[in-house]
Amino acid sequence: MRYCVFSGSSFGRLPICAEAAEQLGHALADSGIGLVYGGASVGLMGEIANAVQSRGGEVIGVIPRSLVEKEVAHTGLSDLRIVDTMHQRKALMAELSDAFIALPGGLGTLEELFEVWTWAQLGHHHKPCALLNTNGFYTGLSSFLDHIVTEAFVKPVHRSMLIVEQEVRPLLTALQDYNAPEATKWISARTA
């Protein structure tokens, strides 16, 4: 079993974000769950990889060649896979993973999470997707997602596919207990 973690390549403003990455890394390793992540040595990405490794857990990094050349690749990994493009990176990370978690991060973190969640909505996979809402980092986003349900752009069943938890242990439990919804139809014709 492996979980993909999307996270920032910086540490963010508050130390609690790095602490959450470390806690998640330790919990994954202690549970025998491998980590798949973006292969960088910097920011929260490096923090979670180091935390998993410090407990003897499996870490697979996937990084595009262009970022290796900028010297951000985590050279301390026993399994660092170098690909040519960002598209290949995301596809390989998804293929290797049984679930997806977003730690605090920026545009790349959001883009990666929304892509795998969209794939789940379309029925391309049945893997759980989750936000670790460290210190309320994703509270505003969660409210906005509820708003787009109210505005009838997302069905409640698809909104419920995204797990949101404040703490690591409840998050891991929710991922283990996840059952993909049966409903896959997401487009409906407008009636006059």
For each of the domains in the chain, give its residue range(s) and CATH number, in order of start: 2-174 (3.40.50.450)
Residues 12-27 pLDDT 10s:
999 999 999 999 999 9
Residue 19: CB atoms within 10 A of its CB come to 13
What are the tokens at 151?
Answer: 């505005």
Tell me what the mean pLDDT of segment 89-107 comes to. Answer: 97
Single-letter amino acid code for the residue at 127:
K
Strand arrangement, sheet containing 34-37: 80-83, 59-64, 34-37, 2-6, 99-102, 129-132, 162-165
Digit-coded pLDDT (tens) for 109-122? 999 999 999 999 99
**pTM exceeding 0.85:** yes
| Phi, psi of 164, deg, nearest 5 | -130, 120
For the chain, strand residue ranges (E) read: 2-6, 34-37, 59-64, 80-83, 99-102, 129-132, 162-165
